[in-house]
């Protein structure tokens, strides 16, 4: 496509219109990104509340027994732990493990080694630390 301009003024006006279109497109993309982030945040909050409720119901139903202390962490609990650590901006694996070790007063080398009872305790403590 060949553009022909009769004056400098036409060139300047053309460039201005290109900038306006570009700015408008950038603004639209930024709004779409903001909307996507808001939806993702709402979904994460809903999942966190659901998992908290499940974890809370589990801890309220019974006192820990030998059987529940030997049961391994559930997938839901594991996912919730990672969501909570992310909300607390603790991304590094070693820091997450050290934090869990200090809270549970037990050396943790993998979250999969936690029992359901330990996971519930850790979730409850981390949930209290998450900003509202």
3-state secondary structure 66-115: HHHHHCECCHHHHHHHHHHHHHCCCCCHHHHHHHHHHHHCCCCCCHHHCE
Q: Cα–Cα distance between 45 and 122 in angstroms, integer?
A: 18
Rounded average pLDDT over 7-34: 71
More confident residue, 74 or 20: 74
Q: Residue 12: is its pLDDT beyond 60? A: yes
Judged against a pLDDT cut of 50, whether residue 62 lies above it is answered with no
Instruction: Quote the radius of gyration of the chain (alpha carbons, Å).
Output: 26
Q: How confident is the model at residue 72 (pLDDT cuts 50, 70, 90)?
A: very high
Averaged over 12-21, what is the pLDDT? 70
Tell me which range, 1-15, 37-51, 107-121, is most confidently predicted by mean pLDDT: 107-121
């Amino acid at each position: 496509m060949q553009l022909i301009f009769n004056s400098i003024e036409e060139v300047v006006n053309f460039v201005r219109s290109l900038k306006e279109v570009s700015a408008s497109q950038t603004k639209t993309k930024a709004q779409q990104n903001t909307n996507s982030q808001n939806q993702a945040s709402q979904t994460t909050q809903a999942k966190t509340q659901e998992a908290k409720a499940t974890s809370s119901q589990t801890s309220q139903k019974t006192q820990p027994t030998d059987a529940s202390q030997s049961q391994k962490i559930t997938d839901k609990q594991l996912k919730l732990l990672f969501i909570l650590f992310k909300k607390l901006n603790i991304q590094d694996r070693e820091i997450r493990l050290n934090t869990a070790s200090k809270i549970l007063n037990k050396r943790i080398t993998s979250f999969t080694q936690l029992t359901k009872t330990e996971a519930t305790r850790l979730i409850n403590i981390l949930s209290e630390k998450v900003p509202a």
